[in-house]
Structure 1
Amino acid sequence: MTLAENANRPNYQQVVDQLYQTSDFDFVGIALQSAQPPHQITWQYVAGNQSEQFRNIVLRSGIGIAGLVVRTGKPFWKNALRATSYSDALYTPIAASESLTAAAAIPILATPFRLVVGVLLVGYRSTQTVSETTVSRLSRYLATF
Protein backbone atom coordinates (compact mmCIF):
# COMPACT_ATOMS: atom_id res chain seq x y z
CA MET A 1 0.00 0.00 0.00
CA THR A 2 1.33 3.40 -0.93
CA LEU A 3 1.60 6.30 1.49
CA ALA A 4 -1.23 8.11 -0.34
CA GLU A 5 -3.51 5.06 -0.12
CA ASN A 6 -2.72 4.69 3.58
CA ALA A 7 -3.50 8.38 4.20
CA ASN A 8 -6.98 7.94 2.67
CA ARG A 9 -7.69 4.80 4.66
CA PRO A 10 -9.99 5.18 7.68
CA ASN A 11 -8.66 4.54 11.16
CA TYR A 12 -10.30 1.14 11.49
CA GLN A 13 -9.51 0.74 15.18
CA GLN A 14 -11.31 4.04 15.79
CA VAL A 15 -14.28 2.80 13.73
CA VAL A 16 -14.45 -0.40 15.79
CA ASP A 17 -13.99 1.29 19.16
CA GLN A 18 -16.52 4.02 18.50
CA LEU A 19 -19.15 1.61 17.18
CA TYR A 20 -18.60 -0.70 20.16
CA GLN A 21 -18.84 2.14 22.68
CA THR A 22 -21.89 3.84 21.15
CA SER A 23 -23.98 0.74 20.42
CA ASP A 24 -25.26 -2.30 22.26
CA PHE A 25 -23.23 -4.82 20.25
CA ASP A 26 -21.23 -7.34 22.30
CA PHE A 27 -18.61 -7.74 19.56
CA VAL A 28 -17.40 -5.52 16.73
CA GLY A 29 -14.67 -6.54 14.31
CA ILE A 30 -13.09 -5.63 11.01
CA ALA A 31 -11.32 -8.17 8.83
CA LEU A 32 -9.14 -6.79 6.03
CA GLN A 33 -7.39 -8.29 3.04
CA SER A 34 -3.60 -8.33 3.19
CA ALA A 35 -1.77 -6.33 0.53
CA GLN A 36 0.79 -9.15 0.20
CA PRO A 37 0.09 -12.46 -1.55
CA PRO A 38 -1.79 -14.69 -0.88
CA HIS A 39 -4.03 -11.72 0.11
CA GLN A 40 -5.59 -13.46 3.10
CA ILE A 41 -8.43 -11.77 4.93
CA THR A 42 -7.93 -11.79 8.69
CA TRP A 43 -9.55 -10.14 11.70
CA GLN A 44 -7.32 -7.18 12.50
CA TYR A 45 -9.43 -4.77 14.55
CA VAL A 46 -11.85 -5.92 17.24
CA ALA A 47 -13.60 -4.71 20.37
CA GLY A 48 -15.53 -6.75 22.89
CA ASN A 49 -13.54 -9.91 22.20
CA GLN A 50 -13.48 -12.70 24.81
CA SER A 51 -10.13 -14.11 23.72
CA GLU A 52 -7.35 -13.68 21.19
CA GLN A 53 -8.51 -16.63 19.02
CA PHE A 54 -9.75 -14.21 16.35
CA ARG A 55 -6.11 -13.56 15.40
CA ASN A 56 -5.82 -17.13 14.03
CA ILE A 57 -8.93 -17.00 11.83
CA VAL A 58 -8.50 -16.60 8.08
CA LEU A 59 -11.71 -15.86 6.18
CA ARG A 60 -12.54 -18.17 3.33
CA SER A 61 -14.63 -16.78 0.49
CA GLY A 62 -18.17 -18.13 0.70
CA ILE A 63 -17.78 -19.76 4.13
CA GLY A 64 -19.59 -18.24 7.07
CA ILE A 65 -21.23 -14.83 7.28
CA ALA A 66 -18.05 -12.83 6.67
CA GLY A 67 -16.98 -15.19 3.86
CA LEU A 68 -20.33 -14.76 2.12
CA VAL A 69 -19.97 -10.99 2.34
CA VAL A 70 -16.48 -11.22 0.81
CA ARG A 71 -17.70 -13.44 -2.03
CA THR A 72 -20.94 -11.59 -2.84
CA GLY A 73 -20.06 -8.04 -1.84
CA LYS A 74 -23.47 -7.81 -0.17
CA PRO A 75 -24.45 -7.44 3.49
CA PHE A 76 -25.60 -10.51 5.37
CA TRP A 77 -27.03 -11.30 8.79
CA LYS A 78 -27.98 -14.41 10.70
CA ASN A 79 -29.67 -15.15 14.00
CA ALA A 80 -29.55 -18.44 15.91
CA LEU A 81 -25.86 -18.93 15.15
CA ARG A 82 -25.48 -21.57 17.84
CA ALA A 83 -27.67 -23.86 15.73
CA THR A 84 -25.01 -24.03 12.99
CA SER A 85 -22.50 -26.85 13.01
CA TYR A 86 -18.95 -27.04 11.69
CA SER A 87 -20.19 -28.75 8.50
CA ASP A 88 -22.79 -26.02 7.84
CA ALA A 89 -21.91 -23.45 5.12
CA LEU A 90 -22.95 -20.71 7.55
CA TYR A 91 -20.67 -21.96 10.31
CA THR A 92 -18.80 -18.86 11.38
CA PRO A 93 -15.49 -19.38 13.20
CA ILE A 94 -15.53 -15.86 14.63
CA ALA A 95 -19.03 -16.44 16.02
CA ALA A 96 -17.98 -19.75 17.54
CA SER A 97 -14.82 -18.37 19.14
CA GLU A 98 -16.64 -15.28 20.45
CA SER A 99 -19.85 -17.12 21.50
CA LEU A 100 -22.05 -14.97 19.26
CA THR A 101 -25.73 -15.86 18.92
CA ALA A 102 -26.47 -13.35 16.15
CA ALA A 103 -24.26 -11.42 13.74
CA ALA A 104 -24.48 -8.98 10.85
CA ALA A 105 -21.76 -8.06 8.38
CA ILE A 106 -21.25 -5.53 5.61
CA PRO A 107 -18.52 -5.32 2.98
CA ILE A 108 -15.75 -2.73 3.11
CA LEU A 109 -15.25 -1.60 -0.47
CA ALA A 110 -12.21 -0.04 -2.09
CA THR A 111 -12.83 2.70 -4.59
CA PRO A 112 -12.83 3.31 -7.53
CA PHE A 113 -13.42 -0.34 -8.50
CA ARG A 114 -15.62 -1.13 -5.48
CA LEU A 115 -13.72 -4.31 -4.71
CA VAL A 116 -14.36 -5.99 -1.38
CA VAL A 117 -11.25 -5.51 0.74
CA GLY A 118 -12.74 -6.34 4.11
CA VAL A 119 -15.74 -6.95 6.32
CA LEU A 120 -17.29 -5.11 9.25
CA LEU A 121 -19.02 -7.62 11.53
CA VAL A 122 -21.05 -7.00 14.68
CA GLY A 123 -22.66 -9.52 16.97
CA TYR A 124 -24.57 -10.30 20.13
CA ARG A 125 -23.98 -12.98 22.75
CA SER A 126 -27.48 -12.65 24.19
CA THR A 127 -31.00 -13.13 22.86
CA GLN A 128 -30.92 -9.94 20.79
CA THR A 129 -31.35 -10.32 17.06
CA VAL A 130 -30.00 -8.69 13.93
CA SER A 131 -31.95 -7.70 10.83
CA GLU A 132 -31.86 -5.64 7.67
CA THR A 133 -32.19 -2.59 9.92
CA THR A 134 -28.92 -3.55 11.63
CA VAL A 135 -27.19 -3.81 8.25
CA SER A 136 -28.55 -0.41 7.15
CA ARG A 137 -27.33 1.14 10.39
CA LEU A 138 -23.85 -0.34 9.86
CA SER A 139 -23.70 0.92 6.28
CA ARG A 140 -24.63 4.45 7.34
CA TYR A 141 -22.12 4.32 10.18
CA LEU A 142 -19.24 3.13 7.98
CA ALA A 143 -20.06 5.84 5.40
CA THR A 144 -19.23 8.50 8.01
CA PHE A 145 -15.56 7.44 8.11
Structure 2
Amino acid sequence: MVGPADKIAYETLVQTIYQKSNFDFVGIALKSADSLEQIKWRYVRGNITQRYRRIVLRNGLGIAGLVLRTGEPFFDNALNDKSQNLMYTPITVVEKLNSAAAIPIIDPQSRAVTGVLMAGYRNGSPVSHETVAILRYYLRRA
Protein backbone atom coordinates (compact mmCIF):
# COMPACT_ATOMS: atom_id res chain seq x y z
CA MET A 1 0.00 0.00 0.00
CA VAL A 2 1.30 3.44 -0.90
CA GLY A 3 0.88 5.97 1.91
CA PRO A 4 0.51 9.76 1.61
CA ALA A 5 4.24 10.35 2.11
CA ASP A 6 5.04 7.85 -0.65
CA LYS A 7 2.60 9.58 -3.02
CA ILE A 8 4.28 12.93 -2.46
CA ALA A 9 7.73 11.37 -2.86
CA TYR A 10 6.76 9.61 -6.11
CA GLU A 11 5.11 12.71 -7.55
CA THR A 12 8.17 14.81 -6.63
CA LEU A 13 10.54 12.21 -8.10
CA VAL A 14 8.73 12.12 -11.44
CA GLN A 15 8.54 15.91 -11.56
CA THR A 16 12.25 16.30 -10.71
CA ILE A 17 13.42 13.82 -13.35
CA TYR A 18 11.18 15.38 -15.99
CA GLN A 19 12.36 18.92 -15.21
CA LYS A 20 16.08 18.16 -14.85
CA SER A 21 16.47 15.79 -17.79
CA ASN A 22 15.57 15.78 -21.44
CA PHE A 23 13.21 12.78 -21.30
CA ASP A 24 9.95 13.20 -23.18
CA PHE A 25 8.08 10.98 -20.72
CA VAL A 26 8.69 9.93 -17.11
CA GLY A 27 6.36 7.68 -15.15
CA ILE A 28 5.96 5.40 -12.18
CA ALA A 29 3.81 2.28 -12.35
CA LEU A 30 2.83 0.58 -9.11
CA LYS A 31 1.17 -2.65 -8.12
CA SER A 32 -2.47 -2.05 -7.30
CA ALA A 33 -3.35 -2.15 -3.62
CA ASP A 34 -6.44 -4.25 -4.31
CA SER A 35 -4.71 -6.75 -6.58
CA LEU A 36 -0.98 -7.45 -6.52
CA GLU A 37 -1.26 -8.90 -10.02
CA GLN A 38 -2.32 -5.59 -11.58
CA ILE A 39 0.06 -2.78 -12.43
CA LYS A 40 -1.08 0.77 -13.17
CA TRP A 41 0.73 3.93 -14.21
CA ARG A 42 0.15 6.29 -11.27
CA TYR A 43 2.52 9.23 -11.64
CA VAL A 44 3.56 10.62 -15.02
CA ARG A 45 4.97 13.75 -16.63
CA GLY A 46 5.31 14.53 -20.30
CA ASN A 47 2.26 12.52 -21.26
CA ILE A 48 0.50 13.44 -24.49
CA THR A 49 -2.75 11.70 -23.58
CA GLN A 50 -4.66 10.56 -20.51
CA ARG A 51 -4.99 7.03 -21.92
CA TYR A 52 -2.15 5.84 -19.67
CA ARG A 53 -4.69 5.91 -16.81
CA ARG A 54 -6.64 3.06 -18.41
CA ILE A 55 -3.65 0.76 -18.86
CA VAL A 56 -3.85 -2.17 -16.48
CA LEU A 57 -1.13 -4.77 -16.81
CA ARG A 58 -0.40 -8.03 -15.10
CA ASN A 59 2.95 -9.15 -13.77
CA GLY A 60 5.19 -10.03 -16.71
CA LEU A 61 3.35 -8.07 -19.42
CA GLY A 62 4.70 -4.89 -20.95
CA ILE A 63 7.74 -2.99 -19.75
CA ALA A 64 6.39 -2.46 -16.23
CA GLY A 65 5.28 -6.07 -15.90
CA LEU A 66 8.62 -7.40 -17.11
CA VAL A 67 10.61 -5.24 -14.70
CA LEU A 68 8.29 -6.14 -11.81
CA ARG A 69 8.55 -9.85 -12.59
CA THR A 70 12.32 -9.97 -13.05
CA GLY A 71 13.42 -7.16 -10.74
CA GLU A 72 15.93 -6.21 -13.44
CA PRO A 73 16.30 -2.98 -15.43
CA PHE A 74 15.09 -2.85 -19.01
CA PHE A 75 15.92 -0.62 -21.96
CA ASP A 76 15.04 -0.74 -25.64
CA ASN A 77 15.76 1.58 -28.57
CA ALA A 78 13.36 -0.01 -31.05
CA LEU A 79 10.03 0.01 -29.23
CA ASN A 80 7.99 0.79 -32.34
CA ASP A 81 9.80 -1.65 -34.62
CA LYS A 82 7.22 -4.44 -34.67
CA SER A 83 9.54 -6.81 -36.54
CA GLN A 84 12.19 -6.46 -33.81
CA ASN A 85 10.00 -6.11 -30.73
CA LEU A 86 7.79 -9.00 -29.70
CA MET A 87 6.80 -7.53 -26.34
CA TYR A 88 3.48 -5.68 -26.25
CA THR A 89 4.12 -2.34 -24.58
CA PRO A 90 0.88 -0.34 -24.29
CA ILE A 91 2.48 2.64 -22.54
CA THR A 92 4.89 3.11 -25.44
CA VAL A 93 2.03 2.89 -27.93
CA VAL A 94 -0.26 5.45 -26.25
CA GLU A 95 2.64 7.79 -25.47
CA LYS A 96 4.35 7.25 -28.84
CA LEU A 97 7.71 6.38 -27.26
CA ASN A 98 10.49 5.11 -29.52
CA SER A 99 12.98 4.31 -26.75
CA ALA A 100 12.67 3.82 -23.00
CA ALA A 101 14.50 2.59 -19.91
CA ALA A 102 12.90 1.25 -16.75
CA ILE A 103 14.14 0.20 -13.33
CA PRO A 104 12.46 -1.59 -10.42
CA ILE A 105 11.33 0.25 -7.30
CA ILE A 106 12.21 -2.00 -4.37
CA ASP A 107 10.64 -1.77 -0.91
CA PRO A 108 13.55 -1.45 1.56
CA GLN A 109 11.86 -3.52 4.28
CA SER A 110 10.49 -6.47 2.30
CA ARG A 111 12.99 -6.24 -0.60
CA ALA A 112 10.01 -6.88 -2.91
CA VAL A 113 9.64 -5.04 -6.21
CA THR A 114 6.63 -2.76 -5.75
CA GLY A 115 6.85 -0.53 -8.79
CA VAL A 116 8.70 0.65 -11.87
CA LEU A 117 10.31 3.96 -12.77
CA MET A 118 10.42 4.49 -16.53
CA ALA A 119 11.67 7.29 -18.77
CA GLY A 120 11.63 7.49 -22.53
CA TYR A 121 11.91 9.46 -25.71
CA ARG A 122 9.61 10.08 -28.65
CA ASN A 123 12.32 11.67 -30.80
CA GLY A 124 14.53 8.62 -31.21
CA SER A 125 17.18 9.54 -28.65
CA PRO A 126 18.87 6.32 -27.55
CA VAL A 127 18.73 4.81 -24.08
CA SER A 128 21.48 2.66 -22.57
CA HIS A 129 23.02 1.37 -19.37
CA GLU A 130 23.85 5.01 -18.66
CA THR A 131 20.14 5.87 -18.78
CA VAL A 132 19.48 3.10 -16.25
CA ALA A 133 22.23 4.54 -14.02
CA ILE A 134 20.65 8.01 -14.22
CA LEU A 135 17.27 6.63 -13.16
CA ARG A 136 18.89 4.71 -10.29
CA TYR A 137 20.64 7.92 -9.17
CA TYR A 138 17.35 9.82 -8.99
CA LEU A 139 15.58 6.93 -7.24
CA ARG A 140 18.29 6.68 -4.57
CA ARG A 141 18.01 10.40 -3.86
CA ALA A 142 14.22 10.27 -3.48
Identity %: 51
Q: How does 1:1-145 map to 2 (within 5 A)?
A: 1=1, 6=3, 9=6, 11-37=9-35, 39-84=37-82, 88=86, 90-145=87-142
Q: Which runs of 5+ in 2 are unaligned?
A: none
Question: Root-mean-square deviation (CA), in Å?
Answer: 1.8
Runs (4+) of structure 1 moved beyond 4 Å? Answer: none
Q: CA deviation at 1:91?
A: 2.0
Scaled by the length of structure 2, the TM-score of the pair is 0.90
For the residues of structure 1 that align with 2:20 and 2:52, how far apart are their CA atoms? 22
The alignment covers a number of residue pairs equal to 140
Q: CA deviation at 1:8?
A: 5.7
For the residues of structure 1 that align with 2:99 and 2:122, how far apart are their CA atoms? 7
Q: Which runs of 5+ in 1 are unaligned?
A: none
For the residues of structure 2 that align with 1:130 and 1:115, how far apart are their CA atoms? 26
Scaled by the length of structure 1, the TM-score of the pair is 0.88
Q: Report the residue type matching 2:35 in the other structure.
A: P
Q: Is the 8 A contact 1:84 1:91 kept in 2?
A: no
